[in-house]
Amino acid sequence: MLSSHIFVCTNQKSGVGEAAAKALRKELKVQGLKSFMHEGEKHHNRVQTCDCLDRCKQCKKGNGAALVVYPGGTFYGNVEPRHAARLVREHLAGGRLVADLLLPSDH
């Protein structure tokens, strides 16, 4: 388990992007993954909003925002606040991709 950095786009859909980022931050705390120890080292997961992820074509298709998780550069789309718990549990804690929210790796 590594530290992750999540960037949530607020360019196209600022309201849902801000809400999704807030929900992700809350879930990191609830699931004990905001700051944690792993193999004797302290790790942090961070969530930030950003202006544009250059995924507007895919982002316009649904009600949610686009986000990217590093390391790995995994892009998710149509992310709404209701998806936060599952993204944190499956992707960050479990190391599994959330297939129904994945965006193609190339534009």
> Is residue 54 one of the residues assigned to a domain?
yes
pLDDT in tens, the chain (107 residues): 578 999 999 987 668 999 999 999 999 999 998 987 778 888 889 999 998 888 877 666 678 899 999 999 999 999 999 999 999 999 999 999 999 999 986 64
Look up the pTM and report it. Answer: 0.89
Residue 90's CATH number: 3.40.30.10
- Sorted by sequence, the CB contacts under 8 Å of residue 88 that are 6+ apart come out as 24, 27, 28, 31, 33
Q: Which domain holds residue 11?
A: 5-101
> Is residue 9 one of the residues assigned to a domain?
yes
CA 15 to chain centre: 16
51 SS3 class: coil
> Is residue 106 one of the residues assigned to a domain?
no
Return the structure tokens found at 74: 């995994």
Query: DSSP letter at 11?
Result: S
